[in-house]
Amino acid sequence: MNELYKIMQSVVDNWIDSLGFILVAFFYGLSFLQLPLSDLFHMLGILAVLSVGMNIILSSSKCLPLPVKPH
């Protein structure tokens, strides 16, 4: 459960860090591209799922860097 909390906290931190870019993309799609709100929310949902998936992959203990071989 602690690992899940860390992953979700990382997702929230990433979304807070990128909030300016997300808002610009949202309003650009809404005003200039004239996309319907349902499409914009669908894209934000896909972005949320991808960000959770990427944080799960990056938090995996199997994804450790390769050891450096001494010369």
Q: 3-state SS of 25-40?
A: HHHHHHHCCCCCHHHH
pLDDT for residue 24 is more than 90: yes
Tell me: pLDDT of 62 over 80: no
Q: Which of 15-19, 21-25, 36-40, 53-57 has the lowest mean pLDDT?
A: 53-57
The residue ranges of every structural domain in the chain are 2-59
Range in 5-14, 30-39, 42-51, 57-66 with the lowest mean pLDDT? 57-66
Q: What is the mean pLDDT of residues 22-36?
A: 89
The pTM of the whole model exceeds 0.85: no
**Which alpha helices (H) appear in the chain, and where do they start and end?**
2-17, 19-31, 37-59
Angle at 50 between CA 30 and CA 22, to 5 degrees: 30
Q: Alpha carbon 51 to chain centroid distance? A: 3
